[in-house]
Structure formats: C-alpha cells, structure tokens
Amino acid sequence: MNLLSSLSPAYAEIFLLVMVSAILIVDLFIVNYTKTLTYLLVQISLLGCSLITVATHEDGIVHMFHHMFVDDLMSDVLKLLTYLSVSMMLVYSRSYLMARGLFTGEFLALVLFATLGMMVMISASNFLSLYLGLELLALSLYALVALQRDSAIATESAMKYFILGAMASGFLLYGMSMLYGATGSLDVNNVADVIRHGTPNKPLLVFGLAFVVAGLAFKLGAVPFHMWVPDVYHGAPTAMTMFIGSAPKLAAFAFVMRILVEAMQPLMVDWSGMLMILAVLSMAVGNITAIAQTNIKRMFAYSTIAHMGFMLVGILSGTIEGYGSAMFYAVVYVLMSLGGFGMIMLLSREGFEADTLNDFKGLNQRSPWLAFMMLLLMFSMAGVPPTVGFYAKFSVLNAAVQAGHLPLVVMAVLFSLIGAFYYLRIVKLMYFDAPESHEKLYIQPDSSLLISINGLAVLILGILPNTLMSVCAVSVQQSLLH
Amino acid sequence: MIFGYPLLSAAIWLPILFGLLVLATGNDRNARMARIIALVGAVLGFLVTIPLYTGFDRMTSDMQFVEMKDWIVRFNIHYHLGVDGISVLFVLLNSFFTPLVVIAGWQVIEKRVAQYMAAFLIMSGLVNGVFVALDAMLFYVFWEAMLIPMFIIIGVWGGPNRVYAALKFFLYTLLGSLLMLVALLYLYHKSGGSFEILDFHHMAMPSLTAQILVFIAFFMAFSVKVPMFPVHTWLPDAHVEAPTGGSVVLAAIMLKVGAYGFIRFSMPITPDASHYLAPVMIALSLIAVVYIGLVALTQADMKKLVAYSSISHMGFVTLGFFIFNAYGMEGALLQMISHGFISGALFLCIGVLYDRVHSRQIVDYGGVANKMPVFAAFFMLFAMANSGLPGTSGFVGEFMVIMGAVKANFWFAFAAASTLIFGAAYTLWMYKRVIFGAVANDHVAHLRDIGSREKLVFVILAITVLGMGLYPLPFADIMHASVNDLLVHLATPKVLN
C-alpha cells in the first residue's frame, strides 16, 4: 500500500500505459470498421488521465523514481493541456481518417503511446527519462506519418522525418553524454548544482550545450535545423500533421525548460546567445518563405517555424516572466494550430484534400460561419487583437523588452508584419474571391461544434486573457522554486 | 457615469452588440430585418453619446465619465475609460456618422447586407473605444481591432482593384501599429509597470534620444493613419476601391484616429522630442498641404480627388498641432471635426452619382444640374465648404490654423494659405465639370434626382456644416480646458538631467 501511494504522482502515466495495452488487445477483437468502441475507450483514457492528474495534484515539487520523475504545477498544467489537445485532435480527425481507411486501432494506440511519451518528457527530471520520453514520442510519430502505406508522399516524408529525427536524437545524446562527462551527473538538479558550485570542465560543458541546443532546435524545427518540417507537414496525412503540430510543442517546451532552464540556468549567457540566432533565423526564414507557398500545409509548416522562433524569444529572455510567456505562447499556438488544421480537414472530403490555398476561395459564400472561425484563427496567428494570438506575442515581446533585447523585439515585430501578409491572404481568399466549387460542405456535427468552440476560444481568450496568462506564469514560477 | 450608467461602455459595446445581432439575421433573405436592426443600433449608439456632450463639465481638463476595472491583472492593464474635451467630440462625430452610413448603404448594398451593416456597427464601437481608452493597451487593442472590419469592408464590397487596396491598407497601418507597441512596452517598463496613458504623461524619460525614438515609433503609427506625406499612398487606393460607406468612414473617422494619437500620445509623452522634431513635422505638413493640393488638381477620378484633398486638409491639422499655440491646436481640432463632416458629405455625393452611372470619372459627367437640381444644390454647399468658404465649417478651422501659423512664422502661414486657392481650384473645377454645362451623355440624361432617404442624409450634414460654420462656439468651448492642459504639457520639459 505504501508503495502504491508513493507512486501517486505517476498514476496518470501508469493508467495510460495500462489503458493502451488494454486497447491494443480489445481492438484485435473488434471487426467493426468504424472503431467506435476503441475510439471511445481512447477518449475515456484521456479523460481518466485528466481526472487522475487533477486528483493527484500536490502543491510543491515531488520527485520520485530516484529523481527520474518530477511532479510540479507546470507538469500538471502541461499534461492537462496535452490531453485536451490530443482529444481535440481525435475529434477533428475521426471522419477524415475514416474516409481514408486510416482510422485503425494502430492509429489510436500510437497516438496514446505518443501521448505517454509526451507525459514522460513533461515530467522528466533526468536526462535519461527525458530522452526516453522523447524517443517514445518520436517513434510513435514516425510510425503515424508512415501509416498511409499506399501514399508515396507520406512514406517519403516518414523516411525524412525518421532519418532527421534520428540524427537529432543522436545530437542530443552526444551532447548529454558530454554534459555527463563534465558534471558527473544526469540529474537535472544535480547538473545545475555542479555547474553553479562545482568546477566543471567549462569547454566540455559548452560543447555539450551546443549539441544539446542543436538537437533541441531540430526537434522544435528552428532554422537552420528546420528542413524536415515543411516536407513532413506537407506529406503526412493532415490528421498526423495536426498531431505533430499541436501537443508535441507543449512537450518540446517542457523539454527546453527542463534541460536549458532547470539544468543549465547558470550557462544562460551561453545558450541565450545561441537561441537568439535560432530565433531570429526562424522568424525570418519562416515568415518570408511562407509567403511563397501555395499549399496551405506547407504554409503552416513555415508559419510553425516562425512561431517557434517567437517562443524562443521568450525563453532566451532568461527571466521567469520570459519562461511564462513562452509557455503561454506554446499553449496559444497549439490552440490555433488545432483550429487551422482542423479547418483543412473539415473542408476536405473523400478523395479530396483541401490543402491548397485555392481551396479556401470564397469560403464566406459557402459557409459564413466557418469562414468567420478561420478569420479569427488567422488573425490570431498573425497576432492582431482582440484575438489571443496578440497576447501571446505581446507577453513574449514584453519579456524581451524587460530583458533589454530591444533590437530583437523590433526585428521580431518586423518579421511578424511580413508574416501577417500570408495570414491575410487566407482571409482574402475566403472573403474577397469567388468560390471555385459550390459543392455543399458536409461537416460532422462534432467537428463543426469543436471548430466553433476553438475559433470562439481564440476570441474569448483574447478578450479575457487574464486567467490563462496567470496559469502559465504561476506554473512556471512554481516549478522553478527549488 | 451619469445616472449610474456607464455611458462610455455603452458607446463602445452597444453598436458592437447590435452588429452581432445583425450578423445573426443570417443571409440576404432577411436583408430588410438586418437593415432595420442596424439602423436602430446606430441611432441608439448616437443617442447614448449625447449625454457625454450635455453632461460635460467644461471647466476642467480632467477625464470625465471615467470607468475603471481590472482587466489583465498580470500586466497591470485596466479597462480604463474616460473622455476629455478633445476626445468627446470625436466620439460624437463617430457615433453621428454611423446612422448616416447605414442609411447611405440602405439600398445600394444588395449582397451580404447583414455582414456589411454589422461591419460598420462593430467598427463604430471599436473606434469609440480608441477615443475613450485611457489604458495604452486597451487603446492598442481597439486601434488594431478596428482594422479588421475596415479590411473586410474594402475587400468584400470594394471596386475591381479592392484586394490590392485592402492588403495595402492593412499592412501599412499594421507596420506603424507594431512599432507603437514596442514604444508602449518601453514606456511600460520605464514607468515601473503601468500602462496608464495619464501616467505616461507625467513621466520623465532618461534622455532626449530615448524620447526621440519613442516619438518616431509613435510617428510611424500615427502618420500612416493621418496620413502624412510620404506614407499617404495607401489612402487614395483605399478610397477609390472602398464602397461609399467605407470611404465616408475612412475619411470622416479613421483619419482622425491618427491625428488623435498625436494629441494623446506623441505630444504630451514626448514634448521635448516634439519640439525638437517640429520642423520636420511642419515641413511634412506643408508638403502635404501644397504638393498634395497640386496633385489633387490633376485627378480625373472624383474619389481620388477628394482623397487627395483629405490628405491636404489633414496636413493642415498636423501643421496646427506642431506650431504649439492655442490657435493652431484648436483650429486643427475644429478642422478635424469639420473635415469629417465635409469629406463624409463629399464621398456621399460621389456615391450618389456612382450608384446611378457606375463611374467616378469626371469626364463621364457634365450637366448633372439639369437632371438633379436638388442634388446639385447640396453638392454645391459641400464643395464650397471643402474650399473653405466663410460661413461653412471648413473656414473656421483653416482660418484659426493660419492665424496660429502667422504667430509662429509668416512663411508657414503663407504656404498653408495657398490651400485656400488650390482647394477652391480643384473642388470647384471638379464641381463645374461634373454639374454644369450641357448634358454630356445618355447616362446623365437618364439621371433621377435624389430620393427622400438620400435627402435626409444630406440635410443633416448640411445643417451641421452650416451650423458649425456660423456658430462654432459649441464645438470650441468644450475643448478649451483640455487644449490648455495639453499646451502646458508641451511646455514642460520631461527629460531627466
């Protein structure tokens, strides 16, 4: 009994693992093509996880498994948001995947394994557990992208994703091994202590740091390590793109927090310079290249790169304020990205991917409500008030100003102006152009409700951003108190 | 607050709520209902702002009708509203124009009526928000948000080249706004964590350089909106492509927002930089007045002509601001109000012609007076007002600015006064070619005179233009205290050491 209760911070992970295993077996016995039961079980597992996470919440920071695993406010908040976005992703993609014969038990199980991977990443406090979580997530994602076996473009992008992802993991491991060599520890807090108080081998430490940052940049898709992003976003079935573009960004944020902030805060001078280069390049390349795209998934890919650059601006500020704003940015980005990809899936139907910009022409005439939701999402991505995307940019810029990075802020602002152009173009296509087809849109009631909630959330959180902002700021603050 | 009602909140949210209500009427089958709800909302929106004028205390420069609530606690951002003698006039001007725009678009707009009406109502509320916000972030949110409906209005109901114009409009104005955001963040940190505009007014800045940088960031935002030479090029495009109602709101309201920004932000927050850069501002203003006035002379398109005329007249406004005396300042403010009435009326006149003939080219007209005598009379009045005829509102502001300019420097006044000649030349020449002469072609021969709906709009505008021209005191006396306060701010150096 004592053992069981001591495991309580990890109940959610354990529960999810049990559920995935059960679902894998149950699914074998279900011949039903629609997989309704499996789908419901998956949603129930996610709901269960959220309940457990809330129920097992404890104030303060709890370590367990020999300091491998940590439970703090930030991890709980990020996990809850992860469940939510995975669940939303499943609702959006159900009919899309069913029309393509991809709504299989494997898909659902892989999604849950990826979720488990993210949870481990979010709660890891040791380089090894971080890495384990990361690889569980990455392997599931590789397989998800490759799930559409008969599509040449999907297999190709899975291949690219796998090779570049493996290389990034290699970088990370190499960097971590050097950090281990320099500090003699893999534990996040120990590493920080040794760097702060001990006498580590500084060149080795910085060398390791450079590799770790490169690996992180790969995973985040920051320029110049971004090459895989457009191909994978474009090639993968839209549902998988949505998955890659949403919840894992939260996990990636946690990863950056654990490894750069918690373990290597004393080296901030070194990594904030590196992040600055990554951030500026990402914002520049992402925003400028996105303009030239005709495929909306590719466009979103480049826009993701730019958004990650913006998030890095928050982190490189190196203040609690900055980390909080970066977390807020990540959360808001996930919300917008779910809506954006959700819209692509809503407009597509069997044998037709609504993935070129022209497919959005005249949407206002075909469905004013959907067009309005997309308008909100696009203005939010562009960072125009009163949508929540504005506050994401605002809080990040505010942190950067506070940290004295005024030139960086001006640059970020100019690049986001360039970025506004391609978001506006979507609005232009929807509202100012005539539709290419007048075919009626058939939209499942659940996804249509969800897109409305998603779009209105972007607006309502924009009008009343206080709560979400404070939640992010407070949770980062709490988890950094040792 | 008056009778316990938050009037300023009502001025913002009532039109927006009605806008949403109009949207909810759905597609064009319910167009009639959409129009009626829109009109009711617009008229109510105007009525709730009247107590702002009648209940205004003219003796003080303090903010009145103040409302204050927490909004984003984390960044110390408040929902803080209030008006002084300057902003109250603009709130009234804006609310006054909304019903006129709704009536003007009554029959003209046939496609997506509900969306059209809703866009104007929502924009009206947002613009009121800009004028009454006392928290810089709140101001910024309204400032940016009002771009969205305008973007849609130009792009959906505009002319053939509307997409280009809409994108240009949006990106130009967004560029300026983003730099203003950076300046606001800087001020936020310098002030120790406050976004209150009034706190900024009383805050010293570390150096003149810092002030100048802040001034330039604000300048980018406001000069684009005014628009000042050389960032004016979006305005003719936007005007030409926008539907009539869009042009009216652009000229009558949107341009004022930029000038208002100079008064509320640039001049009181960075007075030393304002003084330092005043020669540049005056030069740009005079270029706008003279050069753009000449450009207006050569226009073949009526809307373009009035658009350039607007830029020229707004040059007068910025000139009045940056000569730093009471005549100039009050003249500029009166000029803003009057230009709102006149340019709005002129765009409505052009809209009337365009609805019937579907051309805005001057050469396509001639002899309109023969077929539309009533219209020609109204058009005559507004054309005269635009050229600054005494007795019309156009004269008051220009005259005061010129008086102020004489005090500052004779040559400023000399250059500025040339507008009286150019303005008369381009306006009256256009008027002559369009209205007088023999009936030019079949289109003109088949013209019908204006109906009662259009007449109503023109009568209202004619009364205001004449009323303000003959008796400007009600407009001027409400702003005295606030203008004096502003001049005191401008005279106080705000640089540390």
What is the band of B482 on the pLDDT scale with cuts at 50, 70, 90?
A: confident
Residues of A in contact with B179 (CB under 8 A): 410, 413
Contact B145 A384 (CB under 8 A): yes
Residues of B in contact with A398 (CB under 8 A): 75, 185, 188
pLDDT above 90: percentage of residues in chain A: 48
Residues A193-217: tens digit of each pLDDT: 888 888 778 888 889 999 999 999 9
B108 touches chain A (CB under 8 A): no
Mean pLDDT lowest among A67-71, A199-203, A286-290, B13-17: A199-203
Contact A410 B185 (CB under 8 A): no
A177 touches chain B (CB under 8 A): no
What ipTM does this complex have?
A: 0.88
| Shortest alpha-carbon distance between residue A375 and chain B (Å) | 10
Q: Is residue B68 predicted with pLDDT exceeding 90?
A: no
Half-sphere exposure of B290 (CA within 13 A, CB side): 13
Residues of B in contact with A375 (CB under 8 A): 148
Residues B126-167: tens digit of each pLDDT: 999 999 999 999 999 999 998 888 888 888 887 788 888 888
B71 touches chain A (CB under 8 A): yes
Select the residue from A325, A327, A415, A431 to test the B interface by mutation, using most B Cβ atoms within 10 A.
A431
Q: Is residue A227 predicted with pLDDT exceeding 50?
A: yes
- Across the interface, of A401, A427, A473, the residue whose CB is closest to B74 is A473
- Provide the token pair at B100: 């006129």
Contact A397 B181 (CB under 8 A): yes
Residues B189-203: tens digit of each pLDDT: 888 888 888 888 888
Contact A428 B167 (CB under 8 A): yes
Please calculate the CA angle A256-A258-A261 and round it to the nearest 5 degrees: 75
Average pLDDT, chain B: 87
Contact A432 B166 (CB under 8 A): yes
- Across the interface, of A385, A413, A470, the residue whose CB is closest to B74 is A470
Contact B166 A413 (CB under 8 A): no
Q: Is residue A280 predicted with pLDDT exceeding 90?
A: yes
Q: Is residue B215 predicted with pLDDT exceeding 50?
A: yes
Q: Is residue A141 predicted with pLDDT exceeding 70?
A: yes
pLDDT above 70: percentage of residues in chain A: 99
Residue of A nearest to B73 (CA): A466
Q: Say how far apart CA B21 and CA B9 lie, in whole Å.
A: 18
Residue of B nearest to A465 (CA): B72
Residues of B in contact with A465 (CB under 8 A): 72
| Shortest alpha-carbon distance between residue A192 and chain B (Å) | 29
Residue of A nearest to B213 (CA): A406
Residue of A nearest to B112 (CA): A365
Residue of B nearest to A384 (CA): B144
Contact A384 B166 (CB under 8 A): no
pLDDT on residue B1: 47
pLDDT on residue B28: 74
Q: Is residue A168 predicted with pLDDT exceeding 60?
A: yes
Torsion of CA A125, A127, A131, A133, to 10 degrees: -10
Q: Is residue B348 predicted with pLDDT exceeding 50?
A: yes
A369 touches chain B (CB under 8 A): no
Residues B445-459: tens digit of each pLDDT: 888 888 888 888 899
Contact A421 B167 (CB under 8 A): yes
Contact A428 B155 (CB under 8 A): yes
Residues near B27 by beta carbon (within 8 Å), at least 6 away in sequence: A368, B114
Contact A401 B189 (CB under 8 A): yes
Q: Give pTM, 2 decimals.
A: 0.91
- Across the interface, of B72, B151, B167, the residue whose CB is closest to A465 is B72
Residue of A nearest to B149 (CA): A375
B44 touches chain A (CB under 8 A): no
Contact A417 B178 (CB under 8 A): yes
Residue carrying structure tokens 């190196």: A318
A394 touches chain B (CB under 8 A): yes
Mean pLDDT of B295-322: 89
State how far the alpha carbon of A203 is from the alpha carbons of A62, A175, A424, B134, B396, in Å. Answer: 33, 12, 47, 53, 74
| Shortest alpha-carbon distance between residue A408 and chain B (Å) | 11
How many residue contacts between A and B have a Cβ separation below 8 Å? Answer: 88
Residues B374-421: tens digit of each pLDDT: 888 999 999 989 888 888 888 888 888 888 888 888 888 888 888 888
Residues A430-457: tens digit of each pLDDT: 988 888 877 777 778 888 899 999 999 9
Contact B144 A414 (CB under 8 A): no
Q: Is residue B478 predicted with pLDDT exceeding 90?
A: no
Task: State the SS3 of chain B.
Answer: CECCECHHHHHHHHHHHHHHHHHHCCCHHHHHHHHHHHHHHHHHHHHHHHHHHHCCCCCCCCCEEEEEEEEEHHHCEEEEEEECCCHHHHHHHHHHHHHHHHHHCCCCCCCCHHHHHHHHHHHHHHHHHHHHECEHHHHHHHHHHCHHHHHHHHHHHCCCCHHHHHHHHHHHHHHHHHHHHHHHHHHHHHCCCCCEHHHHHCCCECCHHHHHHHHHHHHHHHHHHCCCCCCCCHHHHHHHHCCHHHHHHHHHHHHHHHHHHHHHHHHHHCHHHHHHHHHHHHHHHHHHHHHHHHHHHCCCEHHHHHHHHHHHHHHHHHHHHHCCCHHHHHHHHHHHHHHHHHHHHHHHHHHHHHHHHCCCEHHHCCCHHHHCHHHHHHHHHHHHHHCCCCCCHHHHHHHHHHHHHHHHCHHHHHHHHHHHHHHHHHHHHHHHHHHCCCCCCHHHHCCCCCCHHHHHHHHHHHHHHHHHHHCCHHHHHCCHHHHHHHHHHHHCCCECC
- β-partners of residue A71 are A62
Mean pLDDT of A170-174: 92
Residues of A in contact with B148 (CB under 8 A): 375, 379, 384
Residue of A nearest to B178 (CA): A413
Residues of A in contact with B115 (CB under 8 A): 368
Residue of A nearest to B141 (CA): A385
